Amino acid sequence: MPVFDEAAKRRIRYQTRRGLLELDIVLGRFMDKEFQNLNDEELAVFVDILELPDQEFLALVNQKEETTDARFLPLLEKIRGA
């Protein structure tokens, strides 16, 4: 499991800047409220989620689609709740 230092966390923060305004808003709230509390395992899953295309990511957040990756579920709940 990787250890996420401050430089890695800055890169992750940069990756949260997305092309869809709705996703930017949701991720902005999540980053403000929850990001600093994520452990390394959650950060690794978050990086995987950020690799999704914007439309797919937004559909998962809005529960218009279901993920086939069970690792995503707890983090998607945190993102929705932020």
Give tens-digit pLDDT for 22-54. Answer: 999 999 999 999 999 999 999 999 999 999 999
Q: What band does 76 get if pLDDT is binned at 50, 70 and 90?
A: very high
> pTM to 2 decimals?
0.92
Find all residues with CB under 8 Å of 65, minimum gap 6, and list them: 56, 59
Cβ–Cβ under 8 Å, residues 67 and 60: yes
Longest dimension (CA), the chain: 34
Torsion of CA 54, 22, 72, 50, to 10 degrees: 40
Cβ–Cβ under 8 Å, residues 44 and 2: yes
